[in-house]
Structure 1
Amino acid sequence: MASSLTYVFALYTVVAIVSGQLLFKKISLLLDTPSIQAFLRNDGQALILLIIAFVIYSSATVSWILALRDLPLGRSYMFMSAGFVIVPFLSQHIFGEELNGQFWIGVVLILAGVFLTQAPDLFRS
């Protein structure tokens, strides 16, 4: 049986992955040179953000490993689908990206799929 700390690790992983993705987008918007090497040498802010993103992703990896000690991978991986909803939603608000109705239909389908995978006894006779 998984402890509440296990779920904290899983939820932290999702938050960290979402944060890392938003940082990667921010870094990509700072790219104004065709050479990544020149970019990293000349833009201290981008390099700092990149290091922070790597640290966040590394901590997410450790957290995920800790969560998987007590959670079955097949069911716990559904936590990651939250990022498929959260990242676009935040990118719309932070970066002004557009999301259409088709996107929101997809979100509903993702959420329905998560519900179905996390409630397997629902269809048990």
Structure 2
Amino acid sequence: MSYLFVALTIVLTVYGQLVLKWQAGLIPPSPQVGHGLLLYVVRMLLRPWVLSGLAAAFLASACWIAAVSRFPLSKIYPFMALNFVLVGLLAVPLFGESLSQSKIVGLLLVIAGLIVTSRA
């Protein structure tokens, strides 16, 4: 059950990042600085999907609090690297982002680092 909090932290964080990217891509920011940017942020904060992404971030934080209360931080923190891997991989089919050879190598290095640090 305790590892469920770590998994929920990852899933909710990934969800939040992907939803915010999706919504930000639907309404590009105004090139104006100052009031234009402020209005853009306010408009974004009123969108239900954006609010769901922010709620996911809050819930992820709550799950993380539960996780760190049950495990040594050095044991579970490396799993947060899965956020980079999952968001990087899911951005390819969802947003048409490229997955170059260097990105693949980088993601594999993150996974290797996760394996090494979680066994220590």
Shorter-chain TM range is 0.7 to 0.9
Q: Which residue of 2 aligns with 1:19?
A: 15
> In the alignment, which residue of structure 1 is the partner of 2:108?
108
Secondary structure, in 3 states, of the residue corresponding to 2:47? helix
Cα distance in 2 between the residues matched to 1:68 and 1:41 = 33
Q: 1:85 to 1:42 in 2, by over 3 A?
A: closer
SS in 1 for 2:28: coil
Tell me the distance in 1 between the aligned counterparts of 2:49 and 2:70: 32
Q: Which residue of 2 aligns with 1:52?
A: 52
**Matched-pair identity in %:** 28
C-alpha distance 43-104 of structure 1, shift in aligned 2 (>3 A): closer
Distance 1:28 1:88 in 2: 17
Aligned length: 115
Work out the CA distance in 1 between the residues paired with 2:42 and 2:21.
19
Unaligned runs of 5+ in 1: 121-125
Aligned residues: CA RMSD: 1.9
* Alignment correspondent of 1:80: 80
Q: Could you list the structure 1 runs, at least 4 aligned residues long, displaced by more than 4 angstroms after superposition.
A: 40-44
Amino acid at match of 2:119: A
Asked if the contact 1:16/1:56 (under 8 Å) is kept, the reply is: yes
Q: Which has the larger radius of gyration?
A: 1
Which amino acid letter does the alignment assign opposite residue 94 of structure 2? I
* Residue type of the alignment partner of 1:101: Q
Under a length normalisation based on structure 2, what TM-score does the superposition of the two structures give? Answer: 0.86
